[in-house]
Amino acid sequence: MSGTPSPAVQQRSYLWQDGTLRSWLLTRDHKRIGLLYLGSITAFFVLGSIGAALVRLQLLEPTGAILSDATYNRMFTMHGVVMVWLFLVPSIPVTLGNFLVPLMLGARDLAFPRLNLLSWYLFVASGLLVVYGLFRGGLETGWTFYTPLSSEYTQGRVLPVVLGVFLNGFSSIATGVNFIVSIHQLRAPGMTWYRLPLMLWALYATSVIFVLATPVLAITLLLLAFEHLFRVGVFDPTLGGDPLLFQQLFWFYSHPAVYIMILPGMGVVSEIVSTFSHKPVFGYRFVAWSSVSIAAIGFIVWGHHMFVAGTSLYSAIVFSMFSFFVSVPSAIKVFNWLGTMHGGSIRLDAPMLYAMGFIGLFTVGGLTGLFLASLASDVHLTQTYFVVAHFHYIMVGGMVSAYFGGLHYWWPKITGRMYPEIWGRVAAALIFFGFNLTFFPQFILGYEGMPRRYATYPAQFQVLNVLSSAGAGILAVAYLLPLIYFTWSLFRGAQAPDNPWGATGLEWQTASPPPVENFAETPVVTTDAYDYAARDGRADAARVDEGAPHA
Amino acid sequence: MPDSPVLDHHSPYETPLHRDESAIAGMWLFLASEALLFGGLFLVCLIYSHTRSAGWAEGVRHTNLVIGGVNTMILITSGAVYTMAVEAGKRGDNRRVVRAGLGAAALGVAFLVLKGVEWALEFREHLFPGPDFALHGPDAGAAELFYSFYFLATFLHGMHMVVGIGLILWICRKARHGIFGPAWNTPVDIVGLYWSFVDLVWMLLFPLLYLLGRA
Amino acid sequence: MARIATCWTMLVLLLAAELVAARAGLGAVVCVLAVLMVLVIVLGFMQILRAPPLAIIFALGGLFWLAILLALGSLDSFTRTTVPVHDTAPYAPAVR
Ligand code: HEM
Ligand SMILES: [Cu+2]
């Protein structure tokens, strides 16, 4: 394992083995599929960001700065739908997850390579349909598609979008099935469950949600489409249906889905925190099982989105109680990360900065979730900017930070190149600052009563809104930076060594970038996941072997 | 799904058995997912059949029990016949796979044809929800809800049948080339799981659509 | 072969019993019989007990989550307080 990969390694790398477009589009290599996904979700991330930018520009002025009311509604819908289904739900699982699951397991590929490729095609098709629907007619329902607004009012414009999201679901299910079966079946010799990297526990839990929650969204949207196409009653009160049933079914998926949008981030953070503290994760089994219990409890809290919708008090109390339960495993994780860092030899490279940002912002988001889970305070806070701030702290402050942190952390492995460290740190710091400036004011706005999803607002809220929009500007620049220097590093970055961070984990034992078959020979695992003593011993031995001077 | 008995060099598996077990487990996982897809429909049924029970039952009384019952028999038989194909596959008897497979598919088509006849009758009787819905009276709204459920559920189940029949024909084509043997017949098995699942869903839909509330 | 024939006969008998129970108005019995039919298919045709253990875990998992969906999903509808609506339009919103 030397610092500069030999030409032979480069030749065998999955990136260059066969460079034709055809070989990329028909590839069954999980690493290449991960990169195909990376390209597509980046495009959707840019599109969703444009929607956010327009929303924040509009809210610079109380009467609305640039958009008509209808266009405003379409923009926040576009932003929400694109960001949730075309970016955040797939984000870490389909890019880093696709790339890493087999590598971390010590396997040659995922269990069903062709299914994996199919999932990408489904994803692209669904994305195109959604975008077509959002721009051909426009949609003003928000990402939640509540009936009867979505069925009565939109006059069919909802159909392509709903069909797109429906297809998207099957892409998620395919990924989930693939990950679960792979983790069960393809662990390298010696790789017991309690030796799995915590990233895999998190992705396993995520996949359970993919497989068991997504079909309910699919049927819900199908019912909505049917109702609309054939004017038969299911949810529409004018046709005899019960609109709350739509909300029940929608949130049966969508609350677990918010955990799809955080669990993989937690997995990434566990890896990064351990590596950059050079210490095993504190309380490994607690962190592992907290992922599973988050996924499980996450299925029984969805009613907290309907406290003021007129659901029964029994239902509200039950769901409120479960919502408090779900914060327990989340808190366990936060404490264990802090325990891992405590007394470690911490290095503040860019991935670690993102991970630390994650921990802080996720904590704020989670705690404010408890305000919303309490019946009495939710009545005041629901449908205000407080909710908007709550979920952006988790989804953007948490998950997107983790996604960027993970991209930086594994970039050397994926591309064989180092990114410029200084710029990485600048971007991480700027994201943290811009994020807080954007969303902290929204907590106050919501607390003071500014409702969400309106194109205009009372003048007294302007100062905070301008602050928020200014923060969004900073955030936009900060997100552009990695796009630029990652691209730069592809061509000019320093050659990455096999294990630049001194990390444990099988993915670091193979070349950067890995050969097509991942490992020259199937690895045999003899130590726990974060056994730095063993790794350092091996690294020293390797150096002695090569006759290099001892450090 | 693997398309040949041998492992190619990119295969993530150590042995063919390892691969086949993974494929079967994967199919079960997919079926668990499918169960929740139908679960959403069952929730709709559970709620409306209780909160709007009178009109719901009136809807049930108007479904065509004869066709429904015959169709149930057909599906039971089709499931049994395809299971014979699975057994034949285990022995490597490709000819019997083809014959049993075609039999099961033909029964599936018969089910769909009868279902089509049933739908046509219902359209003629104005049982499709809408302004000229046939049933009147205080509970007509709930009866309409029932028929929404009826048409959606039978449509979704019918689509699964179409996919299942397609899969069975694909198996028959492979078997005609004599591809299956005692060592390798996983695709026959996997399609069998799917076909039985479609069967199973109907065993639940039949009482919900035709029986509960009839008396 | 014998296994398939037995299962088929059992299913036919269960179907007949279902029809009788439905005629007699015994809804609960119909439900039990339907569940039995599902069991015959799962055990007899799909042979879950001879599948890899993983398959059983997946099937039970699916069943468990289905139960959650049905139980918690209907909780609200079955415990909701409904306020009568004065308007007696033919399509009143869902009220019991
Ligand atoms: C610590 C656990 C959490 C609790 C107790 C919690 C609680 C809540 C509650 C009660 C609401 C409803 C507020 C309302 O509409 O009145 C809500 C909304 C929301 N939460 Fe959380 N939450 C938690 C974690 C998360 C996570 C991890 C995410 C995403 C990654 C998330 C994303 C959302 C979203 C997107 C909404 C708004 C949905 C909408 O109406 O558009 N939450 N949360
Ligand atoms: Cu929630």
Q: Can you read off the two tokens belonging to residue C69?
A: 């969906």
The pLDDT tens digits for A18-48 are 778 888 999 999 999 999 999 999 999 999 9
Beta strands in A204-284 (DSSP E): none
The pLDDT tens digits for B26-42 are 999 999 999 999 999 99
CA distance A477 to A211: 36
Residue B133 has pLDDT above 90, yes or no: no
Q: Identify the pLDDT of residue B14.
A: 82
Residue C84 has pLDDT above 80, yes or no: no
- CA end-to-end span of chain A, whole Å? 16
Is C91 in the A-facing interface, judged by CB distances under 8 Å? yes
Nearest by Cα to B64 from B110, B122, B139, B109: B122
Average pLDDT of the segment spanning B131-155: 89
Q: Identify the pLDDT of residue A524.
A: 92
CA distance A159 to A156: 5
**Sequence-separated (6 or more) residues with CB below 8 Å from residue A534:** A504, A526, A527
Judge whether A463 lies within some domain. Answer: yes
The pLDDT tens digits for A366-406 are 999 999 999 999 999 999 999 999 999 999 999 999 999 99
The pLDDT tens digits for A130-187 are 999 999 878 889 999 998 888 777 777 889 999 999 999 999 999 999 999 999 999 9
Contact B211 C18 (CB under 8 A): yes
Nearest by Cα to A90 from A4, A17, A176: A176
Cβ-contact B79, B196 below 8 angstroms: yes
User: A503 falls in which pLDDT band (50, 70, 90)?
Assistant: very high
A391 lines ligand 1 (CB under 6 A): yes
CA distance A118 to B54: 46
Neighbours of chain A (3+ CB pairs under 8 A): B, C
Q: Can you read off the two tokens belonging to residue A392?
A: 């952006």
How many CB atoms are closer than 10 A to CB C60? Answer: 12
DSSP, collapsed to helix, strand or coil, labels residue A292 as: helix
- Residues in chain A, how many? 551
Q: Identify the pLDDT of residue A233.
A: 85
CA distance A143 to B196: 36
Q: Can you read off the two tokens belonging to residue A139?
A: 């949609």
Q: Nearest 5 degrees, angle CA A255-CA A260-CA A265?
A: 130
| Cα separations in angstroms, A404 against A46, A320, A437 | 14, 33, 19
Q: Kindly list the residues from chain C whose CB atom is less than 8 angstroms away from the CB atom of residue B72.
A: 15
Question: How many independent structural domains does chain A possess?
Answer: 1
Cβ-contact C8, B162 below 8 angstroms: no
The pLDDT tens digits for B50-76 are 988 888 999 999 999 999 999 999 999
Average pLDDT of the segment spanning B129-145: 86
Mean pLDDT over all residues of chain A? Answer: 92
Nearest by Cα to A208 from C57, B13, C38: C57
Say what the pTM is.
0.93
Q: Minimal Cα–Cα distance from C77 to chain B, Å?
A: 7
Q: Quick one: how far is CA A282 from the chain centroid?
A: 24
Average pLDDT of the segment spanning B80-105: 95
* Helices (H), ranges, A150-197: 158-185
Q: Which helix (H) or strand (E) holds A422?
A: helix A421-447
How many CB atoms are closer than 10 A to CB A202? Answer: 31
Q: Can you read off the two tokens belonging to residue B76?
A: 């039971």
Q: Identify the pLDDT of residue A551.
A: 40
CA distance A304 to A254: 11
HEC-encoded secondary structure of A431-460: HHHHHHHHHHHHHHHHHCCCECCCCCCCHH
For the CA of A381, the closest atom of ligand 1 is 16
CA distance C12 to A257: 42
**Sequence-separated (6 or more) residues with CB below 8 Å from residue B108:** B75, B78, B161, B164, B165, B168
HEC-encoded secondary structure of A241-286: CCHHHHHHHHHHHHHHHHHHCCHHHHHHHHHHHHHHHCCCCCCHHH
Q: Identify the pLDDT of residue A7.
A: 57
Q: Identify the pLDDT of residue C86.
A: 64
Instruction: For residue A246, give the amino acid letter.
Output: F
Contact B10 A113 (CB under 8 A): yes
Q: What's the CA-to-centroid distance between B43 and ligand 1, angstroms?
A: 24
A:176-235 residues touching chain B, CB 8 A cutoff? 176-178, 180-182, 184-186, 211-216, 218-220, 222-223, 226-227, 230-234
Nearest by Cα to A381 from A434, A457, A316, A304: A304
| Cα separations in angstroms, A242 against A61, A257, A308, C33 | 38, 23, 16, 30
How many CB atoms are closer than 10 A to CB B14? Answer: 15
Q: Minimal Cα–Cα distance from C47 to chain A, Å?
A: 20
The pLDDT tens digits for A179-232 are 999 999 999 999 999 999 999 999 999 999 999 999 999 999 999 999 888 888
Average pLDDT of the segment spanning A357-364: 96
Judge whether A1 lies within some domain. Answer: no
Protein residue closest via CA to atom 32 of ligand 1: A391
Is B54 in the C-facing interface, judged by CB distances under 8 Å? no
Cβ-contact B201, B112 below 8 angstroms: no
CATH class label, B16-211: mainly alpha
Q: What is the dihedral of CA A16, A22, A25, A28, to 10 degrees?
A: -60
Is C75 in the A-facing interface, judged by CB distances under 8 Å? yes
Domain boundaries, chain B: 16-211
Which of A177, A210, A252 is the best substitution to test chain B (most B C-beta atoms within 10 A)? A177
- Partner residue opposite C74 with nearest CB, options B47, B69, B76: B47
The least confident of A44-53, A531-540, B49-58, B195-204 is A531-540
A81 lines ligand 1 (CB under 6 A): no
Nearest by Cα to A486 from A369, A370, A368, A406: A406
Q: Given the structure tokens 């596959």, which residue do they identify?
A: B89
Question: Domain containing A364 — which CATH number?
Answer: 1.20.210.10
Q: Identify the pLDDT of residue B3.
A: 56
Domain limits at A259?
28-536
CA distance A540 to C39: 59
Cβ-contact A247, A319 below 8 angstroms: no
Q: Identify the pLDDT of residue B5.
A: 64
Judge whether A9 lies within some domain. Answer: no
Q: Identify the pLDDT of residue A547.
A: 55
Judge whether A273 lies within some domain. Answer: yes
